[in-house]
Amino acid sequence: MKVIINTLIACCLSILAPSLTSNAQTGYHSHNDIINKLDNLAASNPGTCELDVIGKSYSGKDICVLTIGTGKHNNKPGMAIIGGIDGRYPLSREIALGFAEKLLSDQGSEKYKELLNDITFYIIPDASPDASGGLFSDPAYERMVNGNITDNDRDFQNDEDPYEDLNGDGLITLMRVKDPRGDHIADPADERLMKKADLSKGETGSWFVYTEGIDNDKDDKFNEDGPGGVNFNHNFSFEYEEFGKYAGIHAVSESETRAIADFLYDHFNIYSVFSFGPQDNLGKSFKANNRPEGRGGRGSRIIRNIYKEDQLLNELLSEKYHDITAYKGSPGFAREPGNFMEWAYYHYGRYSYSTPGWWYESDNGKRDESSFMEYADNNNYNDVFAEWQEIEHPDFPGEKVEVGGLKPFKMLNPPESILESVVEKNCDFLIEAAGLHPEIELINLRAEKTGKDIARITVNIHNKGVFATSCKHGERSKWNKKIRIEIRSDSDFTLISGKKIYFIDRIPGDGSEEYSWLISGKGNFTISAGAAHTNNATISFNIK
């Protein structure tokens, strides 16, 4: 009778599971919802934005970029905003989408008009749609990989050991098995949770803990080879891990990573990239070493640390991020091999900033499950834990098996009740950061006669922005266009000293370079300065 009742309950819960999952996260948008919103934004703002499909995920979902700005988009400094790089962070997609909506809804104000005139924004809300879809799958689980069928456990079978929703609640959580040989105990800090027994503290285990599912391939492992197989955020070339778990057969092997990399490399006007995910250098700034490269041995010339010049701006942006969001501390930087954020700096050669967009604040300074549960209890964040439920498990006949634990996505993403305010804070920061963009101006022009038909022309090339025209590391990456400075005239003239065209790598924020020419000739003259990733400034004068 008990088995029949449990079966009926499981069936009812499995029918209700999609609504239970969606009700808990109604503020979050599915991939199709995002595409529909992008379509509507582009259709409603034809003079300001364009929507393009730049690639498809392995399972065929569109990867879209919404380009926002006035005038010629690719002839102005560009700022890329990218969400969905890690499927565990659906908030990242909401921030990117919310930022697009904010730009377009407020474009009538003078501040936003100026930004849209000066900058082009490239917004990619969902870089890895297959992985991001884990929130809306049935059952819902924290998915990190695309749909590329992969033999993750290298047993010559593909996708043969997925998760199973054993208690029918529409979620994949944990499974614990009572066993005196076990290595886990109930966490003394919160007995709802499990932790590894610490022998140094006299703790001895009494449970084994697995992710929820069945050992389908009978290799004594659970859920090690589920659907798909390559993690977007492990598939980039910076410190790519050959044969790494979920890393792909080689760097940038996947359609998703190629789509993003190709788009960025094709747009030389992009000077900065802001992404949202597990890497964080806004909560806490990166620190430069005396030598950015490693010391000694093979690979010591590889740059693994930011330059001091780039650290200064990182510190400023980090301070602004805390001021605007009122967040405290930092969730810490997760240095994952092949991650997107570091690739954008070290290999793409652009300013690159990333943050999860939200994190819970712990009274004890720890960032573990028990401190999160304390935060949730103190803030009436109730829907975070699935109570342990006893089930019958085919792999453990006659043994006590329970399913439960923290619900997926809850620890890394804000609850629906504060989602709108979290998105708003991050959008306000992006607006503030955009206002610091590089901007070249030509000032202090002097034309001095030094003899008959001879004049000395002097001008300062000034970057009045806070961002340098490119990050310091961009000089080394060689994938930034140089700033071109040119003097020209509609009449014949001779340069006695100086060059008609100069090229320079970068101008720091609030920095300037002085150039002068000794000219023989008369007429109207123009000096121009600019690059793909800066504006193009001109100044004109006449020599009589």
Q: In the prediction, which pLDDT does 357 show?
A: 97
| Tens digits of residue pLDDT in 167-218 | 999 999 999 999 999 999 999 999 999 999 999 999 999 999 999 999 877 7
Q: Which fold has domain 31-136+228-358+415-434?
A: Aminopeptidase (3.40.630)
Q: What are phi and psi of 508, to 5 degrees?
A: -65, 165
Separation between Cα atoms, residue 91 and residue 120, nearest integer Å:
23
What is the sign of the dihedral through the CA atoms of 502, 79, 110 and 438?
negative
Residue type, 163: Y
| Tens digits of residue pLDDT in 394-433 | 999 999 999 999 999 999 999 999 999 999 999 999 999 9
Q: Which residue, 479, 82, 476, is CA-closest to 268? A: 479
More confident residue, 520 or 477: 520
Q: In the β-sheet with 493-497, what is the strand arrangement from edge to edge?
A: 440-451, 454-463, 512-521, 493-497
475 burial type by CB count under 10 A (0-12 exposed, 13-18 middle, 19+ buried): middle
- Rounded to the nearest angstrom, the gap between the alpha carbon of residue 11 and the centroid of all alpha carbons in its chain is 39
Residue 179 and residue 206 in contact, taking contact as beta carbons nearer than 8 Å: yes
- Rounded to the nearest angstrom, the gap between the alpha carbon of residue 414 and the centroid of all alpha carbons in its chain is 17
| Tens digits of residue pLDDT in 296-328 | 445 457 888 899 999 999 999 999 999 999 999
Q: In the prediction, which pLDDT does 61 show?
A: 96
Q: What are phi and psi of 142, to 5 degrees?
A: -75, 95
Q: pLDDT averaged over the chain?
A: 89
Instruction: Compute the residue count for the chain.
Output: 544
Q: Which residue, 289, 232, 282, is CA-closest to 83? A: 232
Separation between Cα atoms, residue 258 and residue 495, nearest integer Å:
47
pLDDT at 19 over 60: no
Residues 109-140 as b or e (16 or more Cβ within 10 Å = b): eeebeebbebbbbbbbbbbbbbbbbbbbeebb
pLDDT at 535 over 50: yes
Q: In the prediction, which pLDDT does 158 show?
A: 61
pLDDT at 340 over 50: yes
| DSSP code string of 265-285 | HH-TTEEEEEEESS--SSSS-
User: Mean of the pLDDT values across residues 474-489?
Assistant: 90
pLDDT at 9 over 80: no
| DSSP code string of 12-45 | HHHHHHHHHHHHHTTTSPPHHHHHHHHHHHHHH-
Whole-number percent of the chain with pLDDT over 70: 90
Architecture of domain 440-543: Sandwich (2.60)
pLDDT at 165 over 60: yes
Number of H helices, E strands in the chain: 11, 20
> Which residues belong to CATH 2.60.40.10 in the chain?
440-543
Q: In the prediction, which pLDDT does 7 show?
A: 38
Separation between Cα atoms, residue 17 and residue 14, nearest integer Å:
5
- 187: its two tokens: 């966490």
Distance spanning both ends of the chain, measured CA to CA: 105
Q: What are phi and psi of 96, to 5 degrees?
A: -65, -45
For residue 90, CA distances in Å to 28, 392, 394, 400 come to: 7, 33, 34, 35
Separation between Cα atoms, residue 124 and residue 88, nearest integer Å:
17
> Which residues belong to CATH 3.40.630.10 in the chain?
31-136+228-358+415-434
Residue 421 and residue 98 in contact, taking contact as beta carbons nearer than 8 Å: no
Separation between Cα atoms, residue 87 and residue 91, nearest integer Å:
10
Separation between Cα atoms, residue 142 and residue 131, nearest integer Å:
8
